[in-house]
Amino acid sequence: MNRLNLKKWQKILPFNLLVWIILALYLLPIISMVFTAMMSTEQLMDPRSPLYPARQLTFNYQGKDYPLYNVPTGSGIRPMALFQPGAKSSLFIDPQNPGAAPIRWVGGWRSLQGLYEFHISWDNFTVMAKNLPLADMLRNSLLILFLAEIGVLASSIVTAYGFARFKLPGGDLIFYILIATILIPDKVTTIPTYFVYVNLLHWRGTIYPILLPWFFGSAMYIFLLRQNFRSIPIDLEEAAMLDGAGPLQRLFYVILPQSWPVVITVSVLHFFYMWNETRTASLYLSSANPALMPISIGVQVYESRVPIQNIIEASSMVILAIPVLLLFISQRYFMQGIVVTGTEK
Amino acid sequence: MQKSKKNARQYFGEWRHWGLLLISPWLAGFFLLKFFPILASLALSLTNFYLLEPQKTEFVGLQYYIQFLHDPDMYTVLNRTIMLALAIIPVQLVSSVCIAALLSNRRLLAKNTMRTLFFLPSVIPSAAFIFMWQGFFNPASGWLNRLFLNPLGLAGLNHLSGRGAGNSLFILTSLWTIGPGMLILMGSMQGIAPELYEAAQVDGAGRFRRFFSITLPLITPAIFFTLILNLTAVFGGAVMMDRGYNFDSNLSSYDSYIYFYLFRVFKLGAATSLAWIFLIFTMAIVITLFITSKYWVYYPDPEKRA
């Protein structure tokens, strides 16, 4: 039994090790971001500091703190406090014998390796929280998200049901048009719609141009929902119809209760999309009405103004946290895979 | 078989326009937000509409199209967009197939968690995304130099970072947008019947042979779908969770050329002709892909499969 187990592990472990290494490399920039966000600016400027958030150890000598370095001496490498840095030689204090006179060490102190301890600095987050109206921007984002979700789910579900189960004039042509609209680049429609929103409806500085399109459904989600609705056996619907249920009743009482995974997948996909949405928000909101800016564009504007890497990374972490959390909560539905059986009907 | 035919289309003996009514939200949106705007931009592109003097608008026919077809700047920005697509799409496609294959492997431990972790970069907002990579590429404090290039003595390569156009290191960042494609490919791989692999194993086919002769041909529909998805993402269509490459005008030079005519020069006629040239170009590529797809995409024949 034991040997069997061992054999099994011998087969499994090398493969999983490979996957873990690939994953670590793949996520390296995220790890780098998390560490940088918790670094002090001093550490960021110090090229010999460790990769993890840290601060240099110091030694208190006569009421003042001096940084510790590993100094090669006659009796091996010893940690010493830099008392008086100089260009050619520097004065050091031996922490084990602070009563003695400072020791002169010849050589450039900048070539010495410092001593560091793990230390998290939360300053970047407090600086950002002080400069950014995070609560307001979060409220804007959630309002936009909530309305857009309602709009896109209601219209896409109803439309997908129409495509999945009903005969349409023109046969499959309408469905092909639906697929084709996914492929049309925004560039072509942006100019006339911008003109209508801004010059005719005077919607510049409002959230309406961001929301309105979603109330007409989204071709991509309609496609995903339709594929799923079609995989549900039709018998139950026929039974419901014999009992006198109309199309909308069948959708709500027969189809939807069996389609929660795909509905959740679509709403989570849309959450990610809207949370990240900066294109229309920057076009209609950012300069016209900064008070209504959602958090994604607000943080982006802020980041372009603050050229300090660790504060930028801290603000990145703030907008990253919510989608990542949602991803882990919804993984059960999400990771079943979005099943697309080709582009045939 | 019986079922799929029943499933296809049904009247249900009801009012025959229920279908049309149900799809009407999308249909209205199609006309209001796609069809009419496209027609409007076509009409606009045939005029010399100038935002500051709208009363002087005249019909100029194909004048702007002819002008742009002789405009070296147009070719420069178009070329840059094509080069970006040619660099990014193969990288994305190959890596998403490979990762999907790894994540569908039976020997993988903690399947769901691993899949979620590989999907994670795809949900990172663009505001975080771009600065995160800039931090990673930073020549002084970035991890790319400190962990890989400095020990190998290759730090000189990294002057490619920063914000220049044609930034080859940023192609790496496109690896972080493969999530949705990866999920689709994974779903497709799970749909393959295990008997096929068992039969091949009995016949002595090795692991790689099984991958190239069974998995790859059977997931071609998903590969095709992912290819279209990646293509539209690079060219600025509306796709799943698309972060777009528009957040950096260096990476989307065609857009910035359009925006130049739109927001700096205020020549809407010229801007819309540029957009239409791009539409024709994209559609030509997509139609070519659809036509060639029947030679390399495997479609199971529903009649024979029963």
Cβ B25–A343 below 8 Å, yes or no?
Answer: no
> By residue range, what is the domain housing residue B201?
64-305
CATH number at residue B248: 1.10.3720.10
Specify the CATH superfamily of domain A126-334: MetI-like (1.10.3720.10)
Please check the confidence at residue A100 and state whether its pLDDT lies above 90. Answer: no
B153 at A interface, C-beta within 8 A: no
Specify if B257 maps to a domain. yes
Tell me which of B2, B3, B4, B12 to substitute to probe the interface with A (most A C-beta atoms closer than 10 Å): B12
Specify if B258 maps to a domain. yes
Residue A326 has which token pair? 């949602």
Which of A20, A78, A312, A56 minimizes the C-alpha distance to B131? A312
Please check the confidence at residue B163 and state whether its pLDDT lies above 70. Answer: no
Cβ A300–B127 below 8 Å, yes or no?
Answer: yes
**Long-range contacts from A166-175, C-beta under 8 angstroms, 24+ separation:** A166/A247, A166/B9, A166/B10, A166/B18, A166/B19, A166/B22, A167/B9, A167/B10, A167/B11, A167/B16, A167/B19, A168/B19, A168/B20, A168/B23, A169/B20, A172/A345, A174/B23, A174/B27, A175/A345
B170 against B5, higher pLDDT = B170
Please give the angle made by the CA atoms of A292, A296 and A301, to the nearest 5 degrees. Answer: 80
B150 against B250, higher pLDDT = B150
Q: Measure in Å the smallest separation between the Cα of A112 and chain B Cα atoms.
A: 18
Which of A214, A338, A201 minimizes the C-alpha distance to A271? A214
> Can you tell me the ipTM of this complex?
0.85
Residue A90 has which token pair? 């520097």
Q: Residue holding tokens 């204090």?
A: A93
B174 against B223, higher pLDDT = B223
Spatial distance between the Cα atoms of A292 and A141, rounded to a whole number of angstroms: 9
Q: Measure in Å the smallest separation between the Cα of A255 and chain B Cα atoms.
A: 13
Specify if B57 maps to a domain. no
pLDDT tens digits for B111-136?
A: 889 999 999 998 888 778 877 887 88
Specify if B23 maps to a domain. no
Cβ B187–A337 below 8 Å, yes or no?
Answer: yes
Q: Measure in Å the smallest separation between the Cα of A96 and chain B Cα atoms.
A: 34
B242 at A interface, C-beta within 8 A: yes
Tell me which of A17, A145, A166 to substitute to probe the interface with B (most B C-beta atoms closer than 10 Å): A166
Spatial distance between the Cα atoms of A39 and A51, rounded to a whole number of angstroms: 9
Q: Span B59-79, mean pLDDT?
A: 89
Specify if B234 maps to a domain. yes
pLDDT tens digits for A238-248?
A: 888 888 888 89
Are B122 and B283 within 8 A, CB to CB?
no
Q: What are the boundaries of each domain within chain A? A: 58-114, 126-334
Specify if B56 maps to a domain. no
Please check the confidence at residue B249 and state whether its pLDDT lies above 50. Answer: no
Specify if B173 maps to a domain. yes
Q: Span B87-107, mean pLDDT?
A: 91
Per-residue pLDDT band at B98 (split at 50, 70, 90): very high
* Number of domains, chain B: 1
Please check the confidence at residue B76 and state whether its pLDDT lies above 80. Answer: yes
How high does pLDDT run on average in chain A?
86
* Residues of chain A with C-beta less than 8 angstroms from the C-beta of B23: 158-159, 162-163, 168, 174
Contacts of A177 (CB under 8 A, 6+ apart): B30
pLDDT tens digits for A133-155?
A: 889 999 999 999 999 999 999 99
Cβ A162–B22 below 8 Å, yes or no?
Answer: yes
Cβ B238–A219 below 8 Å, yes or no?
Answer: yes
Are B234 and B177 within 8 A, CB to CB?
no
Q: Span A278-307, mean pLDDT?
A: 82
The pLDDT score that the predictor gives to residue B6 is 44
The pLDDT score that the predictor gives to residue A287 is 76
Q: Span A69-89, mean pLDDT?
A: 82
Tell me which of A188, A190, A237, A250 to substitute to probe the interface with B (most B C-beta atoms closer than 10 Å): A188
pLDDT tens digits for B227-247?
A: 888 888 777 644 444 444 443
Spatial distance between the Cα atoms of B166 and A34, rounded to a whole number of angstroms: 28
Specify if B19 maps to a domain. no
The pLDDT score that the predictor gives to residue A184 is 83
Radius of gyration of chain B (CA): 24
Please check the confidence at residue A326 and state whether its pLDDT lies above 70. Answer: yes
Share of chain B above pLDDT 90, in %: 25
B123 at A interface, C-beta within 8 A: yes
- First and final C-alpha spacing in chain B: 5
Q: Measure in Å the smallest separation between the Cα of B185 and chain A Cα atoms.
A: 8
Please check the confidence at residue B306 and state whether its pLDDT lies above 70. Answer: no
Spatial distance between the Cα atoms of B115 and B122, rounded to a whole number of angstroms: 12
The pLDDT score that the predictor gives to residue B258 is 84
Please give the angle made by the CA atoms of A63, A67 and A73, to the nearest 5 degrees. Answer: 115
pLDDT tens digits for B131-152?
A: 788 788 777 778 887 888 777 7
